Structure 1
Amino acid sequence: MGLVNKTLIAVPNHLTEQWGDEFYKAYPNANVLVVDSKDITEKERELLYNQIANNNYDAVIIAHTHLELLSNPREIIEGLKEEELVNAEKTLKGKNWLIK
């Protein structure tokens, strides 16, 4: 359907492996990344987030611990807002609006 680029599923720490197994049973051909709840350093976390961003996963299953550590620096958030505004402006310019 192409409605979603990447699905992120956050599960309780002790269930990451089980969720991964169940996901593969339901979708055997899916490209899924399962991230367990082990403690990782800040550098490893950065590498993990780059891996998630730069690969074409159908789903990413992470432990709640990792979800809590996700943060977006202000410049990333501002960049995303600007990108959304540009896309909205392009969409609006392509429409013929009638005022009645």
Structure 2
Amino acid sequence: MAKDFSPRPHQRAAVARMLSEPAVGLFHQVGAGKTAEMVMGVMELRRLGMVNKPAVIVPNHMLEQFAREWLQIYPQARILAASSADLAGDKRRQFVARAAANQWDAVIMTRTAFQRVSLSPEAEAAYINAEVIQMRAELEAVKDSGEDNGRANASIIKRLEKAVLAQEETLKAKLDTPADPGISFEETGIDYLVVDELHDYKNLRTPSNILGAAIQGSNRASDLHMKTEFLRTARKRNHLRPR
């Protein structure tokens, strides 16, 4: 850490939370030093061996500034910064190879670059299949509720059946998608995510029986949720693996 940098008490507390909690939201006012908190938290997680290859996702226009501030705090840090241009076309394969082959302290990516490195079709299919199973259970629960009340809510059931069919079609399409070996998110070795300005990812698909309450969802939010669920499952699997 740079000699002239001294963390403030609330920044130390934020880093402590990152070390002790599996998921943390750092919601400070502008100017409170969130960037430094994320940088210190990631470097400490790496130093303690709690993560291997963390990635930090930043707004597209913040990449250079974020990387510059990182090196101001930790001049010796090894970081890989990637914009959407760095992952255009065949450059995706080069990026994944660089990310996988080196021991980076952090991989800093813009939002667009992050979305361009997709999970493998198999991993995406597993995620979508889990959603289909949940939606089918919700559909059956609504049907049972309707029978118990002596009448079924035909409108709700029809809407849920349509949603289930749409997800099943998405699953089928994903299973039919040919894999492109070597350029999936899994291949990067990234095992921890820090997301700047997380409120921009709030529109995750949310089914609801309440008219007007359901959210169709955004690709940005779905992509992030899919990858975090993959990392959580992988971490649980590794923890349960015999040593």
Following the alignment from structure 1 to structure 2, what is the Cα–Cα distance between the partners of residues 73 and 36?
21
| 1:16 to 1:74, Cα distance in 2 relative to 1, 3 A | same
Q: Which structure carries more strand by proportion? A: 1
SS of residue in 1 equivalent to 2:64: helix
1:7-22 to 2 correspondences below 5 Å: 7-22=54-69
Q: Does 1:90 align with 2:230?
A: no
Q: Does 1:62 align with 2:109?
A: yes
Partner AA of 2:105 in structure 1: D
Residues 5-52 of structure 1 deviation map (CA, whole Å, 9 limit, x = unaligned) = 111001111110000000001111110111134264331111101110
1:1-100 to 2 correspondences below 5 Å: 1-38=48-85, 40-75=87-122, 85=237, 88-91=240-243
Give the fraction of aligned pairs with identical amino acids, expressed as a percent: 30
Following the alignment from structure 2 to structure 1, what is the Cα–Cα distance between the partners of residues 56 and 98?
16
Q: Which structure carries more helix by proportion? A: 2
Contact conserved, 1:14 with 1:37, CA < 8 A, in 2? no
Greater relative CO (CA pairs within 8 A, separation 6+): 1
Following the alignment from structure 2 to structure 1, what is the Cα–Cα distance between the partners of residues 76 and 238?
36
Q: Which runs of 5+ in 1 are unaligned?
A: 92-100
Following the alignment from structure 1 to structure 2, what is the Cα–Cα distance between the partners of residues 59 and 76?
23
Q: Which runs of 5+ in 2 are unaligned?
A: 1-47, 127-185, 187-229
How many residues are treated as equivalent by the alignment?
A: 91
SS of residue in 2 equivalent to 1:90: coil
Partner AA of 1:90 in structure 2: P
Give the drift of 1:54. 1.1
Following the alignment from structure 1 to structure 2, what is the Cα–Cα distance between the partners of residues 85 and 67?
24
TM-score normalized with structure 2 length: 0.32
* Structure 1 consecutive aligned stretches of length 4 or more whose deviation exceeds 4 Å: 75-82, 84-87
Following the alignment from structure 1 to structure 2, what is the Cα–Cα distance between the partners of residues 22 and 33?
14
